[in-house]
């Protein structure tokens, strides 16, 4: 067994900040602190959209074409070698990752069209037909439960792998894993990912910064 670098800084920063931000998003909605809710949502969206770009131009095993396989390949993997350690997402977790990223993106987009029917609404509410607002608000309320259910399965699977000796959680924290074959991936500098986050976050700030700052001021005054 030898130590291999599995995950770059970008994937790990995205992963763990996403966990904290989702917790904050859930709590801020519960407390009806919508200025904070939107701040966290735009931050998460900047990290998530940058992760999607990273899935095309980023480090080798963070790319979608590296870990998204055909359903046939996933089925064969499941039947023949689910115990084999993979240097990255295995074919099944590849699909799970895609699903989670899509649903979190859906949560964000529906948030932009969500209204609480009192004072608070996303910036697209005034621009789309009112029927869309109703549908988006319902999806925004229910989709979070689907996300939480998937997260529960995801965490149980991660703990199961870790317990069986395939130290996937350690790898998501440190970036490294003990593997039979040396993983030799091309990694790209984390600074490039952070630059993408800054650019996309900056665009959100230019679009909604004033509105959100005003909401934060009145919330914390």
Residue from the set 36, 49, 112, 215 that interacts with ligand HEM by CB under 6 A: 112
Alpha carbons 213 and 193: distance in angstroms, whole number:
26
Q: Does 26 participate in binding ligand HEM (rule CB under 6 A)?
A: yes
DSSP 115: B
Smallest gap, in angstroms, from Cβ of residue 22 to ligand HEM? 4
Candidate list 141, 163, 164, 198; residue touching ligand HEM; CB under 6 A? 141
Report the SS3 class of residue 101: helix
Does 144 engage in binding with ligand HEM (CB under 6 A)?
yes
- Radius of gyration of the chain, Cα coordinates, nearest whole angstrom: 19
Can you tell me which of 114, 197, 204, 215 binds ligand HEM, judged by CB under 6 A?
A: 114
Q: Which long-range contacts (CB under 8 A, 24 or more apart) does 80-88 make?
A: 83/164, 85/166, 85/177, 85/179, 85/180, 87/4, 87/6, 87/61, 87/177, 87/179, 87/181, 87/183, 87/185, 88/6, 88/7, 88/61, 88/183, 88/185
Kindly state whether residue 18 participates in binding ligand HEM, applying the rule CB under 6 A: yes
Comparison of 49 and 97: residue with beta carbon closer to ligand HEM: 97
* Shortest CB 31 distance to ligand HEM, Å: 10
- In whole angstroms, how far apart are CA 55 and each of 51, 52, 59, 64, 134? 6, 5, 8, 5, 33
Q: Please tell me the distance from the alpha carbon of residue 139 to that of residue 104, in angstroms, as a whole number.
A: 12
Number of residues near ligand HEM (by CB under 6 A)? 43
**Cα 44–Cα 36–Cα 102 angle in degrees, nearest 5:** 25
Cβ 213 to ligand HEM shortest distance, Å: 14
| 151 binding ligand HEM? (CB under 6 A) | yes
**Among the candidate windows 76-84, 166-174, 178-186, 195-203, which touches ligand HEM by CB under 6 A?**
166-174
Q: Is 182 helix (H, G, I), strand (E, B) or coil?
A: coil
Indicate whether 154 belongs to the interface with ligand HEM (CB under 6 A): yes
Could you list the residues that contact ligand HEM (CB under 6 A)? 11, 14-15, 18-19, 22, 25-26, 29, 34, 37-38, 41, 44, 51, 89-90, 93, 97, 100-101, 104, 107-108, 111-112, 114, 116, 120-122, 137, 140-141, 144, 151, 154-155, 158-159, 168-169, 172
């Amino acid at each position: 067994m030898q130590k291999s670098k599995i995950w770059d800084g970008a994937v790990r920063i995205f992963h763990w900040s996403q966990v904290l931000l989702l917790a904050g998003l859930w709590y801020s909605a519960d407390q009806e602190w919508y200025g904070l809710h939107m701040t966290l949502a735009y931050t998460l969206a900047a990290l998530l959209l940058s992760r999607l770009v990273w899935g095309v131009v980023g480090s080798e095993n963070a790319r979608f074409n590296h870990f998204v396989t055909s359903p046939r390949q996933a089925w064969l993997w499941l039947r023949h070698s689910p115990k084999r350690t993979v240097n990255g997402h295995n074919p099944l977790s590849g699909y799970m990752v895609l699903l989670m990223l899509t649903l979190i993106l859906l949560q964000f987009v529906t948030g932009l069209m969500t209204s609480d029917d009192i004072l608070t609404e996303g910036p697209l509410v005034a621009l789309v037909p009112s029927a869309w607002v109703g549908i988006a608000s319902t999806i925004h309320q229910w989709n979070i439960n689907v996300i939480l259910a998937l997260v529960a399965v995801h965490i149980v699977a991660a703990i199961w792998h870790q317990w069986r000796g395939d130290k996937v959680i350690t790898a998501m924290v440190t970036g490294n894993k003990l593997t039979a074959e040396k993983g030799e991936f091309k990694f790209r500098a984390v600074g490039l990912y952070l630059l993408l986050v800054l650019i996309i976050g900056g665009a959100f700030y230019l679009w909604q910064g004033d509105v959100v700052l005003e909401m934060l001021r009145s919330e914390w005054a």
